[in-house]
Amino acid sequence: MGPRRSGGAIVRGKSSRPLKVRVKSGKNRSLSSRLWLERQLNDPYVARARREGYRSRAAFKLVEIDDKHRILKKEARVIDLGAAPGGWSQVAASRVDAPQSGKVVAIDLLDMEAIPGVDFIKRDFLDADAPDQLKAMLGGPADIVLSDMAANATGHARTDHLKIMALVEAAAEFAREVLAPGGAFLAKVLQGGTESTLLSALKRDFALVKHVKPAASRAESAELYLLATGFRGTR
């Protein structure tokens, strides 16, 4: 079978297997943007997110983690850091039954369209008074703190690692302040390992700390997720 053209893309393949979309080069399209577009068009999680009404493919990362580790229980109170465009907040609201019984509070620098059961503020989590605003919105201790925050990539691996670890450390400190005993903390990190000082602190404050990589996280991606469960409470 020869190639077919579809919406500016070239589709090649045989009828016995899924066709792969290849995006044509263009004078106004860089190689990196072409490769990103090809990856999106051929990503089954992107297609599934559209079918199931999720804001992003990232929703399935949380779905897969929660299916295995059961951190999002009905009636739980959740804070979602770095929430936009809202995939994790959608999953959390559904699984904790917000707003009927559970509660989800979310924050991001970017705009996020309203999600039923989610209270959202647009601001920088690193602002000095942002953590207190989130606590006030939640109205009590949290059961789960989620963080999918990521700094803009520089392309320099060490710099990117340091930037995301600074966000994780800030999120972890906030989690210690707001979590109820038995609570959980889930945050994005990068391969290269979580800093030993942070891991030591989390292992002191949580019963179980591990790195997880859900199937929805692309194999070539350097991202991992740090999962800490069984918060021991503040001393």
In a domain, 47, yes or no: no
Q: Containing domain of residue 171, as a range?
A: 59-231
196 and 101 part of one domain: yes
**What 3-state class would DSSP assign to 2?**
coil
In a domain, 52, yes or no: no
In a domain, 48, yes or no: no
Q: What is the pTM of this model?
A: 0.79
75 and 188 part of one domain: yes
67 and 38 part of one domain: no
89 and 130 part of one domain: yes
Catalytically active residues are 188
126 and 199 part of one domain: yes
Alpha carbons 96 and 89: distance in angstroms, whole number: 10
148 and 187 part of one domain: yes
Residue 167's closest CA among 124, 216, 200? 124
Give the pLDDT of the chain (235 residues) as one tens digit per residue: 444 444 444 344 444 444 454 545 555 555 455 544 445 445 566 666 687 768 788 899 999 999 999 999 999 999 999 999 999 999 999 999 999 999 999 999 999 999 999 999 999 999 999 999 999 999 999 999 999 998 777 777 777 778 888 999 999 999 999 999 999 999 998 766 557 788 899 999 999 999 999 887 766 677 889 999 999 987 5
In a domain, 139, yes or no: yes
126 and 227 part of one domain: yes
In a domain, 53, yes or no: no
199 and 84 part of one domain: yes
Q: What is the pLDDT of residue 229?
A: 98
CATH number at residue 208: 3.40.50.150
Secondary structure letter of residue 27 according to DSSP: T
Please enumerate, as own/partner, the contacts of 195-203 that have beta carbons within 8 Å and a separation of 24 or more: 195/165, 195/169, 198/165, 198/168, 198/169, 198/172, 201/172, 202/172, 202/226, 202/228
